[in-house]
């Protein structure tokens, strides 16, 4: 253990000593640390299964996935931040800009989810 001495500013004769354990440094260099951390749910899904999961979250049956429905789908898939993931998914897959994912845009949503590691063939 290292002993670090800190001087008390009120009196020159008083001295405070604190013992701190030696800091352990990581043996893994920063450059080799992973840039991608896997999702918290370990499932192997193909594109068809991902599409089925998204379709089953269309709770009102209108053929479109709203932000709330997408959020619940990403929660089921194990997303740590489903609200953020929904915003990014809409950016990538909502081609007509209506704020929801229609049946014609579902394939783009599935491609986006596969790219992020939510499903593997």
Read off the pTM. 0.62
Most confident by average pLDDT, 2-6, 40-44, 86-90: 86-90
pLDDT range class, residue 5, cuts 50, 70, 90: very low
Distance CA 28, CA 39 (A): 22
Which residue in 96, 92, 95, 84 sits closest to 113, CA to CA? 92
- Residue 7: pLDDT band with limits 50, 70, 90: very low
Judged against a pLDDT cut of 60, whether residue 87 lies above it is answered with yes
Which has more confidence, 16 or 75? 75
* pLDDT for the residue 32: 53
Mean pLDDT over residues 1-17, rounded?
47
Which CATH code for domain 47-115? 1.10.238.10
Cα–Cα distance for residue pair 31/18, rounded to 1 Å:
34
For residues 66 and 100, the answer to whether their CB atoms sit within 8 Å is yes
Confidence of residue 6 (pLDDT cuts 50, 70, 90): very low
- Residue 76 to residue 53: CA distance in whole angstroms: 9
- Count of residues for the chain? 121
Domain boundaries, the chain: 47-115
- 61 sits in the region (left: phi over 0; alpha: psi -120 to 50; else beta) called left
pLDDT classification of 27: cutoffs 50, 70, 90: low
């Amino acid at each position: 253990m290292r002993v670090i001495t800190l001087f008390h500013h009120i009196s020159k004769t008083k001295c405070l000593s604190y013992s701190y354990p030696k800091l352990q440094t990581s043996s893994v260099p920063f450059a080799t640390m992973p840039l991608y951390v896997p999702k918290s749910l370990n499932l192997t899904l193909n594109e068809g299964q991902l599409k089925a999961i998204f379709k089953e979250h269309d709770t009102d049956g209108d053929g479109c996935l709203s932000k709330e429905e997408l959020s619940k789908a990403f929660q089921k898939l194990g997303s740590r931040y489903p609200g953020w993931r929904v915003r990014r998914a809409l950016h990538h897959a909502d081609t007509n800009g209506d704020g929801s994912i229609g049946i014609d845009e579902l394939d783009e949503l599935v491609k986006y989810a596969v790219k992020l590691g939510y499903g593997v063939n």
